[in-house]
Amino acid sequence: MAGPVSGCKDGTSRQDQGPGEEDGRTGQEGSGQGHRSWEEGRGRHEGGREKTQLRGVQALRAGRREQRRLPSRRPPHGLGRRRHLPAEGVREEVAPMGRMGGPGTRSRRPRYSGIFERLEREAGFVTPQDPISEFCRRDIDRSQHAALDGPVAPARQVFRDPREAARVVSGFARQAGADLVGFTRVKRSFVFEGVEIRHRHAVILGLQMDYDRMAAAPAQPAGSEALRAYWVLGGITVKVAEFVRSLGYAARAHHPRSSGGRPPTVLHTLAAVEAGLGETGRSGLLVTREFGPRVRLSTVTTALRLPAGGRKAFGVDRFCRECRACREACEGGAIPDEKKRVRGVLKYTIDPDRCLPVFARYDGCGACIARCPFNRGPGTGPGHRRGQV
25-65 confidence digits (pLDDT tens): 444 444 455 555 555 655 555 555 555 566 665 666 666 55
Tell me the backbone φ, ψ of residue 345, rounded to 5 degrees.
Answer: -125, 135
- Residues 224, 229: Cα–Cα separation, whole Å: 9
Phi-psi domain of 297 (left: phi exceeds 0; alpha: psi -120 through 50; beta: other) = beta
Range of the domain at 252: 90-376
CA quadruple 264, 269, 270, 275: dihedral sign:
positive
Q: Is residue 2 part of a domain?
A: no
Could you tell me the pTM of the whole model? 0.70
Which pLDDT band, with edges at 50, 70 and 90, does 85 fall under? Answer: very low
Q: Report whether 375 contacts 291 (CB < 8 A).
A: yes
* Element at 211 (helix H, strand E): helix 211-214
Q: Where are the beta strands (DSSP E) in 200-329?
A: 201-208, 251-254, 279-280, 286-287, 295-302
Q: What is the pLDDT of residue 121?
A: 66
Mean pLDDT value across residues 298-314: 96
Q: Note whether residue 68 is domain-resident.
A: no
- How many domains does one find in the chain? 1
Q: What is the pLDDT of residues 372-389, one digit of tens each?
A: 999 977 654 333 333 333
% of residues, the chain, pLDDT over 90: 52
